[in-house]
Structure 1
Amino acid sequence: MNHLLELNSVTKNYWKTEGDSHRPFLFENITTIITSPQRVVLLGKSGQGKSTLLRTIGLMEEFDQGEIKYKGNSSKSQDAREWRMNIAYVSQHPVMLPGTIEYNLKTVSRLHDKPFEEKYAKSLMVQLGLQHLSWDKQAKDLSGGEKQRVALIRSLLLRPTILLLDEVTASLDQQSKEYVEGLLLKLHKEEDISFILITHDTQQAKSIGERIWLMEDGKLSIDTDARSFFDVSMDEVFK
């Protein structure tokens, strides 16, 4: 059986080790499987390598040992561009390309030589509360929260199977955060999109996660369903 995503003993060494004499790796032996579309929340204190793990899964960074597979195919035998179309990474600090909102949204079409899904893009803009923005507006003039949501839409236009979301609601106001959460839940339910979301928001983890990954001391120490995880107090996780 080909699983949706497999991580087998994935290890990432520190590029500098003198600052951490007791542990030469950022994380090691990360092994887990996502068999079908799922909502995964990745938790852990700062410095555990959560963001690096997401970027590693998205082939934005190299890893030192182990293997990552998507639908049975190893990342080592895949074209990186094709991989990133299926497994899309969205940063906490989005980068807008010089030009308008429309120019940014059409990036996928230009890079991958595919038709621009204007209707889908407009629908996503509405669902994320951005319908008031003119597509002629310069992207550099958007607020931080607007840039974050436009970046998410830009990634969704890839039509990925898995979204890697690195604290994408951390800088959003409450309403905007709810727009994003609602869209993620809808995409999961209606389009079978999986996501792995890093958050330090306990309530968010409870409300949209169905599976919890917890990183501690460079290891994936807990991999369980969200209900079981939150049956016990995990306040220390979010410090």
Structure 2
Amino acid sequence: METLISIEHIVKKNKQGTPILSDISAKIMDGELITIIGPSGSGKSTFLSLINRMADPDSGSLYFRGTPYHEIDVLQLRRKIGIVFQLPTMLPGTVRDNLFIGPALFRESLSEAEIDELLDGVGLPPSIKEQNARSLSGGQKQRVSLARTLANRPDVLLLDEVTASLDPHSTEDIENLIEKIHQSGKTILWVTHNLSQAKKAGQFTWVFANGKIIEQGRTIEIFSAPKQTITKEFIETSFAKESILS
């Protein structure tokens, strides 16, 4: 299995100089679906921003297919490593206009067949491409956001709490969609606060706490027999909260 991304001893500090991430090292392999969990403020979203190079580490190195990040054009890197956020931002215009955004950066276009294929891949009908993107429901916007990112044909898909603002029905739809995308061979890193979701979706799981990856392994093992006390307590507390809210 090929190593897509290597992370070596990265450190990221806030404006006050306090580390948000401390000495993170890990490897992301081709075809993996990794769910990333941990307490709020543990550095999960900051970690994704470094992987997508929306920010650079203060020290340490990242490599994509063996090439240092700083040797790769930023736009080309972001094309290979796409990201989808919790709140999908639709730009002015139609769904079609939004899908064109990524390819247009590289002076490319999409055929009608390619647009229809992207929409079908995220469970949307071809007729929606002429709709005003900002008039869509939350679940539809998240699907368009996924399609827009997939239009660049990324090797890696980063997901940052992509169902946190959705209703239960839309959440289940997006979960099924992401499973389908992973089964097509896509490598996925998925930050989620929903531990039931992480347990169900993950192939591997990384646990963040205090700016570090404190535990990583197969999802079933992380949830059934966590090695770290922090992990065990976090999982128990989180599931207790979820049962109260459900």
Q: 1:160 to 1:117 in 2, by over 3 A?
A: farther
Q: How does 1:1-239 map to 2 (within 5 A)?
A: 3-17=3-17, 24-131=18-125, 134-190=128-184, 192-232=185-225, 233=232, 234-236=235-237
> Any conservation in 2 of the 1:45–1:237 contact (CA below 8 Å)?
no
SS of structure 2 residue aligned to 1:197:
strand
Deviation at 1:33, TM superposition (A): 0.7
> How far apart, CA to CA, are the structure 1 residues paired with 2:70 and 2:51?
12
Aligned to 1:21: none
Please tell me the residue identity of whatever aligns with 1:11: V
The RMSD of aligned alpha carbons is 2.0
Please tell me the residue identity of whatever aligns with 1:59: R
> Any conservation in 1 of the 2:37–2:195 contact (CA below 8 Å)?
no
How many pairs does the alignment contain? 232
Q: Deviations over 1:59-79 (max 9, x none)?
A: 011210111111101101110
Q: 1:117 to 1:33 in 2, by over 3 A?
A: farther
When the two structures are superposed, what TM-score results if normalisation uses the length of structure 2? 0.86
Please tell me the residue identity of whatever aligns with 1:226: T
> Unpaired runs of 5+ in structure 2?
226-231, 242-246
Q: 1:2 to 1:195 in 2, by over 3 A?
A: closer
Deviation at 1:28, TM superposition (A): 1.0
> Any conservation in 1 of the 2:87–2:165 contact (CA below 8 Å)?
no
When the two structures are superposed, what TM-score results if normalisation uses the length of structure 1? 0.89
Q: 1:172 to 1:118 in 2, by over 3 A?
A: farther
Please tell me the residue identity of whatever aligns with 1:171: S
After the TM superposition, which parts of structure 1 deviate over 6 Å for at least 4 consecutive aligned residues? none
> How far apart, CA to CA, are the structure 2 residues paired with 1:176 and 1:237?
22
Structure 1 vs Structure 2: percent identity of aligned residues?
34
Q: Deviations over 1:18-70 (max 9, x none)?
A: xxxxxx20011110012331000010111111111101100011210111111
> Any conservation in 2 of the 1:96–1:139 contact (CA below 8 Å)?
yes
> Any conservation in 1 of the 2:203–2:218 contact (CA below 8 Å)?
yes
> Unpaired runs of 5+ in structure 1?
18-23
Please tell me the residue identity of whatever aligns with 2:84: V
Aligned to 1:20: none
> How far apart, CA to CA, are the structure 1 residues paired with 2:136 and 2:64?
35
> How far apart, CA to CA, are the structure 1 residues paired with 2:5 and 2:175?
22
> How far apart, CA to CA, are the structure 1 residues paired with 2:113 and 2:202?
29
> How far apart, CA to CA, are the structure 2 residues paired with 1:222 and 1:98?
42
